[in-house]
């Protein structure tokens, strides 16, 4: 397996941990990028659009490394949920997800030798009905402000609230490692 060193353009500790678990050689490099997107895009297009926008910030400065960018969004009943702005906003989002099925979509962009490889993954997540007390306790005790949809599947709310998922678990964590690995091993082909 001859995968070039990865520049991970993400401060997400979850993405970093997933790459470590995959035994990937990577370095975290951050650049500020405007994460706005044009109207009229599907949720999948939004996730890929933002991931690519993040990668484009590196195009002029990249060497032989692979720049890996990603953006995860949660979509419930056609509404895109990003990261909450406040604890109250996080509680609102979790109430919207409670007792419903939602989609977790992660757009990924690999920039290698000035070529962009964009892809995405979608997972369906089924939340049981959560009480306001369960939601408030989670928001108070954990840090949902850096998570799309206000939750981490690997944290208490995920462990007690998610009844089932269809699709990739690691996608819900924030990086579809199965698809990522397949793309990385085919970079030079």
Which amino acids are annotated catalytic? Answer: 71
Q: How far is CA 76 from each of CA 1, 13, 91, 180, rounded to the nearest angstrom?
A: 38, 25, 15, 25
Q: What are phi and psi of 16, to 5 degrees?
A: -60, -45
- Which residue do the tokens 């306001």 mark? 132
Q: How far apart are CA 149 and CA 109, in angstroms?
A: 21
Residues 6+ apart with CB under 8 A from 89: 150
């Amino acid at each position: 397996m001859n995968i070039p060193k990865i520049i991970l353009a993400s401060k997400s500790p979850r993405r970093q941990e997933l790459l470590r678990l995959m035994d990937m050689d990577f370095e975290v490099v951050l650049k500020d990028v405007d994460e706005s997107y044009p109207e009229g895009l599907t949720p999948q297009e939004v996730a890929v659009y933002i991931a690519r926008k993040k990668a484009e910030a590196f195009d002029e400065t990249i060497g032989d490394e692979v720049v890996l960018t990603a953006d995860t969004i949660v979509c419930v009943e056609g509404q895109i949920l990003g990261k909450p702005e406040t604890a109250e906003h996080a509680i609102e989002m979790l109430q919207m997800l409670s007792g419903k099925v939602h989609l977790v979509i992660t757009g990924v962009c690999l920039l290698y030798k000035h070529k962009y490889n964009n892809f995405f993954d979608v997972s369906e997540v089924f939340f049981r009905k959560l009480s306001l007390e369960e939601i408030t306790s989670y928001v108070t005790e954990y840090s949902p402000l850096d998570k799309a949809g206000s939750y981490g599947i690997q944290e208490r709310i995920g462990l007690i609230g998610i009844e089932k998922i269809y699709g990739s678990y690691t996608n819900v964590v924030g990086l579809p490692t199965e698809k990522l690995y397949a793309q990385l091993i085919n970079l030079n082909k």
